[in-house]
């Protein structure tokens, strides 16, 4: 039997989450409650979907920073199209359009990376800027608060709702089910299909992957289109649940998302990463963002805390690995 590996990032992150919750519960006895949990889940939907997408790219040995621009582009453009062309279409159509726009933008990344063989960071830094600039120049800069009816309908679909003791409401939208479904789908692709194993193989050793006949170009195309599609979906969910389509939203979130993924144990050098880790990373980041105030740390310290967690979460395993290596030499 395999012994349990205590030094894994997942364990570390889980430990920090537990410690954080204990601290928060001590400071505020109301912290450990269903409403807090639901609040965290709701706040983790968009971040979670984006993190799943970012993880797939990291596993393949690349890095994508353009997905927030893709999400914003798909979200806002879809809203504008629906508003101007067919305001009465149901929400699944809006979601399909946003997903398709996201996939198309992802395909642009895919062509530049897979076909032309350009470095992923450079390409996506470029497209981040281009997609965003294009959106703001040609599609619009005005936020739309009067959403098409389909998107409004979606925002009212609640899985769980309840009332706090102080009379305020809490609720978990059905959008959460999208996160769950996408996690399951991505898990299946990564772990149960040859395509998914090829993604890991490429991330581990691209040359070896080519030698055993893996079509690296095709696989990378799939990755960037898939990531684009997930980003598009995350974008439209963001607008629907926030009940406003703001073209300035989302961009700027990419580093938090990548931070969550890296905290969860994915390696920036590729080949290693799990969905469990990624979701734990997301949970930790959401927790820190939402609840730092509860344990008495001013919210201006948020980014310092997140940064320190990243240094700790990635530094500790790296330091341990280095020590193990030194012992083996």
Burial 197-208 (b: 16+ CB within 10 A, else e): ebbbbbbbebee
Query: Residue 85, interface with other proteins (CB under 8 A)?
Result: no
Query: Residue 327, interface with other proteins (CB under 8 A)?
Result: yes
Q: Which stretch binds other proteins (CB under 8 A): 120-128, 133-141, 170-178, 201-209?
A: 201-209
3-state SS assignment for residue 271: coil
Query: Residue 201, interface with other proteins (CB under 8 A)?
Result: yes
Q: Give residues 210-239 in contact with other proteins (rule: CB under 8 A).
A: 211-214
Query: Residue 63, interface with other proteins (CB under 8 A)?
Result: no
The DSSP secondary-structure symbol of 1 reads -
Cβ(94)–Cβ(261) below 8 Å: no
Query: Residue 204, interface with other proteins (CB under 8 A)?
Result: yes
Binding mask 169-198 for other proteins (x = CB under 8 A): ----------------------xxxxxxx-
The DSSP secondary-structure symbol of 113 reads I
Q: Which stretch binds other proteins (CB under 8 A): 20-28, 50-58, 205-213, 252-260?
A: 205-213
Which residue, 105 or 214, is less far from other proteins as judged by CB? 214
Which residue, 136 or 189, is less far from other proteins as judged by CB? 189
Cβ(304)–Cβ(40) below 8 Å: no
Query: Residue 163, interface with other proteins (CB under 8 A)?
Result: no
Query: Residue 272, interface with other proteins (CB under 8 A)?
Result: yes
CB of 328 vs other proteins, minimal distance in Å: 8
Cβ(24)–Cβ(45) below 8 Å: no
- Non-local (6+) Cβ contacts of 310 within 8 A are 259, 262, 263
CB of 3 vs other proteins, minimal distance in Å: 11
Query: Residue 156, interface with other proteins (CB under 8 A)?
Result: no
Q: Which stretch binds other proteins (CB under 8 A): 85-93, 131-139, 159-167, 199-207?
A: 199-207
Q: H or E element: which one contains 163?
A: strand 158-163
Query: Residue 11, interface with other proteins (CB under 8 A)?
Result: no
Query: Residue 209, interface with other proteins (CB under 8 A)?
Result: yes
- Residue 41, sorted as left (phi over 0), alpha (psi -120 to 50) or beta, turns out to be alpha
Query: Residue 203, interface with other proteins (CB under 8 A)?
Result: yes
Between CA 102 and CA 107 the distance in angstroms is 9
Cβ(275)–Cβ(183) below 8 Å: yes
Query: Residue 261, interface with other proteins (CB under 8 A)?
Result: no
CA 175 → CA 91, 155, 180, 191, 258, distances in Å? 12, 8, 9, 24, 22
Which two three-digit tokens encode residue 126? 């470029």
CB of 313 vs other proteins, minimal distance in Å: 19
Q: Can you give the binding site for other proteins, defined by CB under 8 A?
A: 2, 191-197, 200-201, 203-205, 207-209, 211-214, 267, 270-272, 327-329
């Amino acid at each position: 039997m395999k012994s349990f590996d205590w030094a894994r990032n997942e364990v570390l992150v889980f430990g920090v989450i537990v410690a954080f919750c204990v601290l928060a519960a001590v400071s505020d006895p109301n912290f450990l409650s269903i409403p807090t949990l639901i609040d965290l889940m709701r706040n983790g939907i968009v971040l979670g979907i984006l993190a799943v997408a970012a993880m797939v790219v990291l596993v393949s040995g690349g890095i994508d920073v353009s997905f927030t621009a893709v999400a914003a582009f798909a979200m806002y453009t879809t809203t504008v199209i629906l508003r101007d062309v067919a305001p009465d279409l149901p929400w699944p159509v809006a979601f399909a359009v946003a997903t398709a726009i996201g996939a198309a933008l992802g395909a642009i990344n895919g062509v530049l990376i897979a076909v032309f063989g350009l470095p992923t960071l450079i390409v996506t830094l470029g497209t981040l800027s281009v997609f965003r600039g294009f959106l703001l120049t040609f599609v619009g800069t005005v936020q739309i608060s009067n959403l098409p009816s389909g998107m409004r309908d979606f925002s009212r679909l609640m899985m769980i709702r309840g009332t706090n003791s102080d009379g305020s409401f809490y609720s978990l939208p059905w959008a959460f089910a999208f996160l769950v479904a996408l996690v399951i789908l991505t898990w299946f692709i990564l772990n149960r299909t040859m395509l998914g194993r090829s993604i890991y193989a490429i991330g581990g050793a691209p040359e070896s992957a080519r030698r055993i006949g893996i079509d690296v170009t095709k696989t990378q195309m799939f990755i960037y289109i898939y990531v684009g599609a997930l980003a598009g979906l995350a974008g439209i969910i963001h607008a629907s649940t926030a009940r406003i389509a703001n073209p300035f939203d989302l961009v700027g979130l990419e580093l938090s998302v990548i931070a969550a993924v890296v905290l969860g144990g994915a390696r920036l050098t590729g080949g290693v990463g799990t969905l469990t880790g990624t979701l734990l990373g997301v949970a930790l980041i959401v927790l820190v963002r939402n609840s730092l105030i509860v344990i008495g740390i001013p919210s201006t310290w948020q980014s310092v805390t997140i940064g320190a967690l990243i240094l700790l979460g990635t530094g500790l395993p790296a330091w341990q690995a280095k020590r193990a290596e030194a012992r083996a030499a």
